[in-house]
Structure 1
Amino acid sequence: MRQRVGIVVGISGVGKTWLLNKVRAAIPMQILSASTLIRESLAQKEEQPTPQDDLRARCIDDNQAALIEAFNRCIDPDTTLVILDAHVIIDTPDGLAHVSSDVFRKIDPDFMVFIKDEPRRIRRNRERDARRLRPDRSVDFLTKQQRVAIAAARDISDNLSIPIYFVNGGDDPELTRVLSSLQEVEPDV
């Protein structure tokens, strides 16, 4: 069985990492976090480590170059399913910045999964997560941000000619079903 690479995206606070960690018990996979890969790559080049929530204030292009380098270095060639936990838009101090399709093209994914949820729930998740210092955003802003992120994910999916699947936040049985079915798909020859 060949290795399959998927990208799981959604706005910050939707619960991507929590959901992936829950599903990992049912499906063997390597999960790579984009922010962790970026920070580790930057730490090799800089004296001071960059905190996760400070990444949004840095040059997005530099961060994405670091992501690609670290992803290619860290991917386990013996794992049949590799998932990149990432974002398609970044909430920067200057507004919402889109991550280019070219970044994902260099990762060569087979599919994308968008985790979506009610903006009120996302806001509540963000308020409860004391480990992160995300910008304080209203439900209206998060509604817009999620709408923009969905459009960006669809554009990336179209540009890369890969399927995109939508899963509700907290729906680990559905994510398990989607990833299981995608893991079993063999390419057309």
Structure 2
Amino acid sequence: MSMRKVIAVVGLSGVGKSTLLDNARRMLVFEHLQAGDLIKAERQEHQGKPIAHDRLRERNIDDNQAFLISGFMKRAPKEGLIVLDGHTVIDTPVGLKEIPPSVFAEIGVSRFVVLVDDVKNIALRRSSDTRRTRPVRSHEELAEHQERSLLAAYRAALALSVPLFVVPLREHTDIGMFLNF
């Protein structure tokens, strides 16, 4: 019986996580779970009303992480490769909030893949994505957020004693090699 392997693919909103994972699915078989979708589904199940994806950052982040864990436990397959598409810091109305390593431990993350890109590219993706309403941030703010996101991933990987791969998008547009065990 094979066990499940959980990889957290993290990075700033707009870095291109979902797009790269969609491309990787052409070559690899894995379950792609988006943290925001898991949180939204759990919130709706427990509170009875839907919430827009981009409004999650306005809610209690600790509650969101509890919903993430319970949603993951319900919806993730018991075996195989699972990729959790999410964040290590959340851009809330009151500042950045780091996701504690304990959240990743509960989910059973065995590897972190951190996607990074030039903040000008991230800003351009964010502004041109009409499906989302992300906070408008300067290049300097995005650079700080990306650095804090990377440091939070590093802290989580250290706490869990698991590998961490930093993937600069200018060098890698295929992340499949970082997902393969």
TM range (shorter): over 0.9
How big is the shift at 1:45?
1.5
User: Is the Cα contact below 8 Å between 2:39 and 2:67 reproduced in 1?
Assistant: yes
CA distance in 2: counterparts of 1:14 and 1:112, whole angstroms: 15
Tell me what 2:86 maps to: 86
The 5-angstrom pairing of residues 111-150 of structure 1 reads: 111-150=111-150
Tell me what 1:187 maps to: none
Aligned-pair RMSD on alpha carbons?
A: 1.1
CA distance in 2: counterparts of 1:15 and 1:142, whole angstroms: 14
User: Is the Cα contact below 8 Å between 2:3 and 2:78 reproduced in 1?
Assistant: no
Letter in 2 for 1:71: F
Task: Give per-residue Cα distances to partners, 1:14-66, cap 9 Å, x unaligned.
Answer: 01011111101110000100000000000112232010000000000100000
CA distance in 2: counterparts of 1:19 and 1:139, whole angstroms: 22
The 5-angstrom pairing of residues 38-187 of structure 1 reads: 38-78=39-79, 80-169=80-169, 171-173=172-174, 175-180=175-180, 182=181
Letter in 2 for 1:76: P
Aligned residues: 179
CA distance in 2: counterparts of 1:90 and 1:149, whole angstroms: 9
Letter in 1 for 2:91: D
SS in 2 for 1:5: strand
CA distance in 2: counterparts of 1:42 and 1:81, whole angstroms: 25
User: Is the Cα contact below 8 Å between 1:41 and 1:67 reproduced in 2?
Assistant: yes
SS in 2 for 1:110: strand
Identity percentage of aligned residues: 35
CA distance in 2: counterparts of 1:178 and 1:66, whole angstroms: 27
SS in 1 for 2:27: coil
User: Is the Cα contact below 8 Å between 1:34 and 1:85 reproduced in 2?
Assistant: yes
Write out the 4+ residue segments of structure 1 that deviate beyond 2 Å after TM superposition: 168-173
Unmatched 5+ stretches in structure 1 = 183-189
CA distance in 2: counterparts of 1:144 and 1:163, whole angstroms: 23
CA distance in 1: counterparts of 2:177 and 2:159, whole angstroms: 25
How big is the shift at 1:77?
2.0
Task: Give per-residue Cα distances to partners, 1:108-136, cap 9 Å, x unaligned.
Answer: 11111000000000000000100000000
CA distance in 1: counterparts of 2:154 and 2:63, whole angstroms: 24
SS in 1 for 2:109: coil
How big is the shift at 1:166?
1.2
How big is the shift at 1:96?
0.3
Task: Give per-residue Cα distances to partners, 1:158-183, cap 9 Å, x unaligned.
Answer: 0110000011237333x111212x2x
CA distance in 2: counterparts of 1:97 and 1:121, whole angstroms: 23
